[in-house]
Structure 1
Amino acid sequence: MTSVTAEPTFLIHQATHQFVAEPIHFQVLQMNKSVFVWIGKDEAKLGDMSVAVPPFGNQSTAAATSIIVKGIAEQGKNLARSLALKYKQQFFVSLNLNNPDDMLILFIEKKLMELLKNIM
């Protein structure tokens, strides 16, 4: 018996959007059955990181947890959870932002959803 396995696929998508006078960078790495999202300002390093898996069985919400905690883990965890629920894939979300306010978080969510809508 032979088994057919899909070749690994990695697609990288990048965007930068201005929030007030500051650039916010977005990078999305699509893999076979998961997606890694990095959102940050100037320095390209990992900030808070969370992961979420889509619901399975009779569950109605995605399970999520924080992997790296540096101060804004709850926002990243909530974003990962909503993305896993919407796209039915595992999502890793890393936010490299210093003390974001609610307006910045809303801006990030809107721009990320626009980007994902175009690539998924």
Structure 2
Amino acid sequence: MKTNVITIKNANEKTMQDIENQAYRLSERNWRRRNVWESSEASKAAKNSRDKLIDKAYLNAAAKHLTEKARAINSYLTVRPLHDAFCVVLEYNSPSVGQSLKFASPFCIESFLDKPDQVLAILNA
């Protein structure tokens, strides 16, 4: 007898595309928002400030998502956001060795992590 296994995606489990889409929607909503300030310069400054916060939140969420993916390959792999460069860095931090493996956009790091053999080859080199 054959049984069908159905996997249900957890509501908190997001893909990189989901995370990017959410950041895009927030940014679009930010710029469509109507402000009540007298000056258009003050309004633009507030929108730019909110945009920076949205970008930081996007990179933090992407780094958290990618760290979970990296930990499945090796428990010492982490992904950290670099807000100034608007990218993330894949790091290997064991008790004896620490090194940065790759600096790139979140989607590039995700495609790299989708090939665990390449990640392990770099770690073992």
Normalised to the residue count of structure 1, the TM-score between the two structures is: 0.30
Flag the structure with more relative contact order, 1 or 2, with Cα contacts below 8 A and sequence separation at least 6: 1
Q: Which has the larger radius of gyration?
A: 2
Counting strand residues as a fraction of each chain, which structure ranks higher?
Answer: 1
Normalised to the residue count of structure 2, the TM-score between the two structures is: 0.29
